[in-house]
A and B are shown apart, each in its own frame.
Chain A
Amino acid sequence: MISLTLRFIFFLLMLAYGCETAFAKDTLYLYNWNNYIADETIQRFEVRCACRIKQSYYSDNEEMLAKVEAGAVGYDILVPTGNTVETLIRQAALKPLDKTKLPHLANMKPAFLNAWYDPGNVYSVPYAYSITLIGYNINKLRALDLPTDSWALIFEPKYLQKLKGRVTVLNSQKELMSAAMKYLGYSIQDRDMRKWEQAKALILRAKPYWAAFSNNTYIKDLAIGNIWVAHGYSNDMFRAREDARSAGRPFSISYFTPKEGAVLAVDNMVLHRSGQQTALAHRFIDFMLEGENSASLSNMIGAGNPNQDAMSLIQPEIARDPNIFPTAELLKNLEMIRDFEPRERRILGRMWIEIKVR
């Protein structure tokens, strides 16, 4: 009896040890949004630099901040949105970039450089951007003849009655409340808490009609047809449209940027101070700055592209899509999220708890 157990334990240890050693080669740890880089791009980089990329995913900046705070060790590259870059800089959690190793930085469109959150791009380099908008099931909405141009679709009970249990919204305090502020016509930089209270009231009024808060399952749910309207990121909606088409679903998915304006999220590559592979990280950032690789972000994932060099390589119908490359006048009412003072953040945090709990 005892020998049986010992043999069993020995066997398990060997098996486990086997799996572990296979990946001792130098490995670059990338902590990125889910569905924000094509596998094919990853493989090309691994082949070029003879290394391994170990990816972890997050679906909200807050989640990434919390996880990094909880177990900060080992991540070389993070891809935070603008406001989160500012937070990480204030936390002194980043390593400055060595520009000399980034020859392709010149490809970057000037408008995206020298951003308010990282003047002089000391720590960050733009990676891609997305717009937080509304994706929908064309057939269903045409049948219900619902408007496809305004936030009212997910905030007005008169539309929501027809969509009861078929709508999901982002499980992110900043994104959802900003969308509500936009619908009310306010700027999302506004520090007047009374306006945010109105946004909270608006959300609470619409909440009973929504099916769920979801940061990622909405891609699959839209493609399968469980839900018909989703509040989410433009690249995710692109993915949902592709999934539905490739799976041969009897409907198609589309998405629009509401006329009242929306949140623009410019995501940037940064080096976390606890990363070991600094040299390899720089090569990866530079690799992503090359026109061809950056173009794959738009062609395969439908993300907005800050890279000038890549514009020529992007497929025409994606380049023309205003939800991926917004026109100048649309850009006017796109705003980026900024972090507020801790005191205000706590008040908003408490509002968010009320939204979730009421």
Chain B
Amino acid sequence: MRGQRKWGASYMNNPIVSKKKWHKQARIDRITQWIVSVPPHLFLVFFLVLPACIMVLASLRYPGEFGGLAPLWKTPGIHGVAGLTLENYRFVLGDLVFVEILLKSAWIAFITTLLCLVLAYPLALLIAHRPKRQRELMVLFVILPFACNFLIRIYAWIIILGPFNLLYSPFAVIIGMVYVHLPLMVLPLYTNLEKHDPLLLDAARDLGAHAWQRFWHLTFPLSLSGIFAGSALVFIPALGMFAVPELLGGTGDIMIGNLIKEQFLESRDWPFGATLSLLLTVTVLAVAQFSARFTQRELT
């Protein structure tokens, strides 16, 4: 955690400052750095890093007699299993059904991201080209659905889809997922498109590029980083979603999120739930790494 000090460092190598004053100043700086950086570090390590380690540990243990986790050490007198085991991993990797459900969840998340992109991109493009006053208003209207609770937005679709017998179907799940995640795609796209220099479009037009050519050769390539940022912002939460499939999905629409939730809150098999969660974490990290590599090429 050694942070290179930048705050007011310039006076350090200024010869005319007296040695004594220089030391005192350095001490104050050291304390300031500590005051500002220790509390957040402490809180996040204690309530983020530690829980993550506990989750990894939990995936290596047996389930307790009545839920929870079996004890780590073999204490005399208490029967039942204890200690670490790879049983959960053998079970998860042994049976392809779990990789299958992960792929199915990834597939649903992918379709959601694609639909969000298809709907969000023209909207973001339109907003980015409106005059300033209108722009803020139109963006506000995109964020507003976030104003009402995430469950209510799902419940709205229960009411709408119910009578048409579309409820409890993959279609309902996709509609729900797109509905919940659409604003998350519009915002990064809009901020990216808004930054485009209009002069570039004039230059392209001046050099003989027609409307479609301008979009394909200029606007689209430059908005790629926005597209990847938006897609990651939709795909990753969608992958771990369980409320939408549970409320809108049918028997065949279970996602990995539902399975994890069920392990913890219904079938009380915490170790197996933790293992599934790790499987999901690994997938998310892979996706994040993949999309970070693209958004890294920040062009404009």
Contacts and interface: CB of A to CB of B under 8 A. Distances in A.
A and B in direct contact, judged by CB atoms within 8 A: yes
A353 B65 CA distance: 19
A69 B66 contact: yes
A61 B101 CA distance: 26
Contacts of B191: none
Interface string A168-202: 11010100000000000000000000000000000
A173 B251 contact: no
B127 interface: no
A168 B249 CA distance: 12
Interface string B261-293: 010111111000000000000000000000000
A226 B163 contact: yes
Given A60-B266, A63-B265, A210-B250, A165 B168 contact: yes
Contacts of A210: 250-251
B265 A66 contact: yes
A357 B91 contact: no
A91 B251 contact: no
A67 interface: yes
A210 B266 CA distance: 21
A95 to B, nearest CB: 17
Counting contact residues on chain B (CB < 8 A from A), the size range is 20 to 34
A67 B268 CA distance: 9
A207 interface: yes
A349 interface: yes
A101 interface: no
B252 interface: yes
B80 to A, nearest CB: 8
Given A165-B169, A211-B251, A212-B168, A357 B267 contact: no
A19 B148 CA distance: 21
Interface in B93-108: 95, 97-98, 100-101
B254 A356 contact: yes
A159 interface: no
Counting contact residues on chain A (CB < 8 A from B), the size range is 35 or more
Contacts of A67: 265
Given A69-B66, A356-B259, A357-B259, A208 B252 contact: yes
B116 to A, nearest CB: 25
Interface string B15-46: 00000000000000000000000000000000
A178 B163 CA distance: 32
Interface in A299-327: none
Given A69-B268, A208-B252, A354 B68 contact: no
B270 to A, nearest CB: 9
A344 interface: no
26 contacts: A62-B266, A62-B267, A65-B268, A66-B265, A67-B265, A69-B68, A69-B268, A87-B66, A90-B65, A165-B168, A168-B168, A207-B252, A211-B168, A211-B251, A212-B168, A212-B250, A224-B162, A226-B165, A346-B63, A349-B267, A350-B91, A353-B259, A354-B97, A356-B254, A356-B262, A357-B254
Interface of B: 63, 65-68, 80, 91, 95, 97-98, 100-101, 162-163, 165, 167-169, 249-252, 254, 258-259, 262, 264-269
Given A69-B66, A342-B65, A357-B254, 4 more contacts: A69-B67, A210-B250, A212-B251, A226-B163
